[in-house]
Amino acid sequence: MTDIGWLTKRPIAHRGLHDGNHEIWENTLAAFRRAIEAGFAIECDVHQTKDDQVIVFHDDDMLRLAGRGGLISDLPLAEATRLRIGGTEECAPSLRQLLDLVNGQVPLIIELKGIEGTDGALVKAVARELANYQGEAAIMSFDHHLIRRFAAEAPGIPAGLTAEGRRMSDMEQHFSMLARNIDFVSYNVEHLPNPFVTFVRERLNMPVISWTVTDWELKKQSDLYADQITFEGFDPRVPAA
């Protein structure tokens, strides 16, 4: 298993240290700068563009974040990086722009968002961008079809499963991913504890981070069953009153 002790050393700012999309929007360079300044690790989301490049963007479609219809995967990178986010001056950054900004200052956890039929080059494209990156970085995904490509197409990059659920069918699917040589798990804090997370932590000694912790009560829950939080909406450095 890859040594990723750095993964759990500091809280992880969910989509950067945004302010709930009031003035500083998620997955923008402004949100990432705030996270760096605060010393938090960064979680971000990426999609494949029409020309097989990588854009930092959460949703499949562009309506909520950029106010226009269509899929983000339908745009080439040059057009995608001109999308104004939330009507602000901030544009959707490329993964390369994010890596240049972070430049090893804080750890980076990249969630790959798949759209089957349009994401065949995504894992390779992310691996290509990370090939010469000197900072601490990991990849993860909900999408099992992408995770199955991690070992072959992104060798040597710490890799994780993003997951949720408590049903037996959920547990079975998650356990099946352990055969893919993952290094960590990112789990929905509201679905803790569960047999899968207990097994990977206690039997495999695999780190588990939680998502998305939005207040101190959820942090208390996470601290019982996971090794670090992915958070938004509060400052985990400041104790609750």
Q: Left, alpha or beta for 224 (phi > 0: left; psi -120 to 50: alpha)?
A: alpha
Query: What distance in Å separates the CA atoms of residue 99 and residue 93, rounded to the nearest whole number?
Result: 10
Pick the catalytic residue from 14, 18, 47, 174. Answer: 14
Is 191 noted as a catalytic residue in this protein? no
Q: By three-state DSSP, how is residue 51 classified?
A: coil
Other C-beta atoms lying within 10 Å of the C-beta of residue 57: 27
- 8 Å CB contact between 126 and 95: yes
Distance CA 51, CA 78 (A): 9
- How far is the C-alpha of 78 from the C-alpha of 53, rounded, in Å? 10
* 14 labelled catalytic: yes
Cα–Cα distance, 98 to 96 (Å, whole number): 5
The alpha-carbon radius of gyration of the chain (Å, integer) is 17
Q: Which of 22, 58, 144, 145 is catalytic?
A: 58
SS (H, E, C) 128-193: HHHCCCCCCEEEEECCHHHHHHHHHHCCCCCEEEEECCCCHHHHHHHHHHHHHCCCEEEEEHHHCC
Residues that are catalytic: 14, 58
